[in-house]
Amino acid sequence: MPFNADIFSADIQAAVSGLTAVPFMQCAQVSIRGTNYKTGYAVILEQGKVVTDLCFGVIKVILIDKDDTVHFVVEEKVCEYQPHLQTYKLKETCGCKCVRATDLVDYLPLFLYNFKESRCVILKHGVMLWG
């Protein structure tokens, strides 16, 4: 369906305001080279010097532009590594931003798990440290 920014929150509208390739199509899921992404999945946006220093985003909107480039509007989450569980506990939202699928640190999406009162991400694979 065509993307209508007016029905979304101000954070999402601000995140997509810099995009120039319009019109966009909005979808609930997309497959890129056999990898399925859905709204509600987590993706790795940034990494620090150690593997436990990761920044996650939760996919809120999936957009495809006229050139078939996939963009994710994500809620950036502050996270805390839980070494005893080997999970990342997602905390408050830092805001929304729009990232191209090709700009993700890792191409694999991650599921969110509910653990007690928290939302957690468990890495199912290693993440390569660059630099």
Give the residue carrying structure tokens 């191409």: 107
User: 25-82, pLDDT tens digit by residue?
Assistant: 899 999 999 999 999 999 999 887 776 778 899 999 999 988 889 999 999 998 898 8
Strand partners, 104: none
> Among the CATH numbers 2.30.30.490, 3.50.50.60, 3.90.1150.10, 3.40.1710.10, which is that of 5-121?
2.30.30.490
User: 37-49, pLDDT tens digit by residue?
Assistant: 999 999 999 887 7
CB atoms within 10 A of CB 98: 20
Rg (C-alpha) for the chain, rounded Å, is 15
Give the residue carrying structure tokens 């931003």: 97
- In the chain, domain spans: 5-121
Three-state secondary-structure class, residue 31: strand
Instruction: From residue 37, give the alpha-carbon distance in Å to each of 25, 58, 89, 94.
Output: 15, 11, 21, 22
User: 74-111, pLDDT tens digit by residue?
Assistant: 999 988 988 888 889 998 888 899 999 999 988 889 99
Q: What is the pTM of this model?
A: 0.88
* 8 Å CB contact between 95 and 10: no
